[in-house]
Amino acid sequence: MDEANGKMRSKHEDVVDAASLSADILNPFVHRLELDTTYDKLKTAFLTVALLPFRLAAITALVIMAWLLACLGLLGLSEEDLRRAPLTGWRRDMRIIICWMMRALFICGGFHHLKVKGRKAETKDAPVLALAPHSSFFDALPVVYLGGPSIVAKAEIGRIPFFGKLINYTQPVYVWREDPNSRQNTIKEIIERATSKEDWPQVMIFPEGTCTNRSCLITFKSGAFYPGVPVQPVCIRYPNKLDTVTWTWEGPGALKLLWLTLTQLNSSCEIEFLPVYKPSEAEKTDPKLYASNVRRLMAEALQIPVSDYTYDDCRIISRAHQLNIPRASTIVEAHKLRNKLGLVSAKTEEELVQKKTERFSEEVNLHEFAQILRIDEKEPATQQLFRIHDRQGNGKIDFEEYIFTVIATANANSELDKVETSFEVCGTKSLSYINKVELRKALKLSLNMPVEESDKIFENAKIDFADTTVNFEFVLAALAARAEYSHIFAGNPETRKKNI
């Protein structure tokens, strides 16, 4: 095993920039799922009537029975009791019964084919199980198969109706995000369980920290690797013709996935146990190195690349979704490339807006794009950044839209902030005044407003009939007067009062 670990460390040191760039262009947070053929649509419609009600009835009955058993097994135990010592005697045996019932639940849901490769290690040999890729709430199936190991999860999960009780029965290691010492306490608890002489269940973690589409393995969070104990990597696959399980930041919602999965005749899942990974002394003192090497080992077994996306990247996507910024899934790709090119640290785009004396050209080619941003157009990252924004594939991008997306994603916290940012980007004189053409572009970027509607706002915001520009404050007042745009001010009534 040490020899294998040595090979992995060698590969870790020989990372090639070109390969890293190719991984960057993968977007693990997007999943497209459509019923393309008439056959699939008719089959789904038929099974929705003929099969779905029976499956839902069976699943509901099993969940209720498992929940009742969990309530019985936890009777008389406090949260502190569950954290202090492992379950023993009949309570521990009850967990096995509950896991069998949950396994039956998945069978009722169509997961008839569960293929297992390798062998699960004993707790003494591998106190921690690292599962990847994490792509779905259906990943509960491997958890059930593993006998209900203690999961590492945010504390809010324990409050989910019915399932919260079942999760609590695994004696999870909860992460209390409101606690500033949460990370240290979580690591301490994992170490205590891993080194304890008591018969604790294995600690199981999804080190990616969020769901992806399984196209690559994103950066592993290092929490599970801080204890420096042996880890058994566990790979998960869903080799189905129609991928109805993947649940990402951009794609079908949970209910649609549940419906489409339960209307498939059969669904498959594969679990592969890799050999136990024993950390070297260097990895014990460097959890990030340990996590990176385990990730590469798993990526090789899965035959997919690794990528430097992190859980924090999801927050960028989440913010873009909250602000209704189009193509949110590509923003993380662009952010990483901008980071490589030094644009993020230099705040180049913000500086351009602050210092500009005239309106940006709406369409620029690669050479102009690189020249304005003061970056090398021959650099692969520059070319990739340009291609991301070249939606039409005609060799030109809307530079104002590029600048707006960068600044709004970084700084905007509300719809009102978006409008203000668009004025700064599209205006030629100052934030205070803007002409009709500039207003069209600003409201198109920030509110996706049609030209005709923008022109009405312009007319309503004018003080004098002959005015060719309008004041920013009067534009906000014109927007506030329209019911369909009242949501812009909903989060800040004081701002609305001030502007009106």
pLDDT digits (tens, 9 = 90+) for 435-479: 898 899 999 988 889 999 999 999 988 887 777 888 888 888 888
Asked whether residue 281 carries a pLDDT value surpassing 90, the answer given is yes
- Are the C-beta atoms of residues 477 and 461 closer than 8 Å to each other? yes
- Are the C-beta atoms of residues 446 and 424 closer than 8 Å to each other? no
What does the CA dihedral 244, 237, 125, 88 come to, rounded to 10 degrees? 20
Asked whether residue 235 carries a pLDDT value surpassing 90, the answer given is yes
Per-residue pLDDT band for 17 (boundaries 50, 70, 90) equals very low
Per-residue pLDDT band for 385 (boundaries 50, 70, 90) equals very high
Asked whether residue 103 carries a pLDDT value surpassing 60, the answer given is yes
Q: Which residues contact 464 (CB under 8 A, 6 or more apart)?
A: none
pLDDT of 2 reads 44
| Domain ranges, ordered by start, for the chain | 2-309, 310-410, 412-500
pLDDT of 55 reads 96
pLDDT of 305 reads 93
pLDDT digits (tens, 9 = 90+) for 392-407: 889 999 999 999 989 9
The answer to whether 2-309 and 412-500 have equal CATH topology is no
pLDDT digits (tens, 9 = 90+) for 240-280: 999 999 998 778 999 999 999 999 999 999 999 999 999 99
Q: Residue 374 and residue 352: Cα distance in Å, rounded?
A: 11
| Cα radius of gyration rounded to whole Å, the chain | 27
Asked whether residue 226 carries a pLDDT value surpassing 50, the answer given is yes
Q: Residue 172 and residue 125: Cα distance in Å, rounded?
A: 20
Task: Please state which CATH number belongs to domain 412-500.
Answer: 1.10.238
pLDDT of 120 reads 94
As to burial, measured by CB atoms within 10 angstroms (0-12 exposed, 13-18 middle, 19+ buried), residue 463 is exposed
* DSSP conformation class of 363: E
Q: Which residues contact 234 (CB under 8 A, 6 or more apart)?
A: 129, 130, 131, 132, 142, 146, 271, 272, 273, 274
Selection from 498, 469, 496 nearest residue 481 by Cα: 496
Q: Percentage of the chain with pLDDT > 90?
A: 44
First CA to last CA distance, the chain: 70
Q: Name which residue leads in pLDDT, 220 or 354.
A: 220
Selection from 293, 262, 271 nearest residue 7 by Cα: 293
As to burial, measured by CB atoms within 10 angstroms (0-12 exposed, 13-18 middle, 19+ buried), residue 230 is middle
CATH architecture of 2-309: 3-Layer(aba) Sandwich (3.40)
Give the residue-averaged pLDDT of 283-306.
95
Q: Residue 475 and residue 440: Cα distance in Å, rounded?
A: 12
pLDDT of 251 reads 86
Looking at residue 287, its amino acid is P
Per-residue pLDDT band for 52 (boundaries 50, 70, 90) equals very high
Asked whether residue 319 carries a pLDDT value surpassing 80, the answer given is no
What SS3 state is found at 205? strand
**Average confidence score pLDDT of the chain:** 85
Q: 51-55, 99-103, 271-275, 429-433: which has the minimum mean pLDDT?
A: 429-433
What does the CA dihedral 291, 293, 295, 299 come to, rounded to 10 degrees? 180
Coarse DSSP helix, strand, coil percentages of the chain, rounded to the nearest 5 percent? 55, 10, 35
As to burial, measured by CB atoms within 10 angstroms (0-12 exposed, 13-18 middle, 19+ buried), residue 260 is buried
Q: Residue 217 and residue 208: Cα distance in Å, rounded?
A: 8
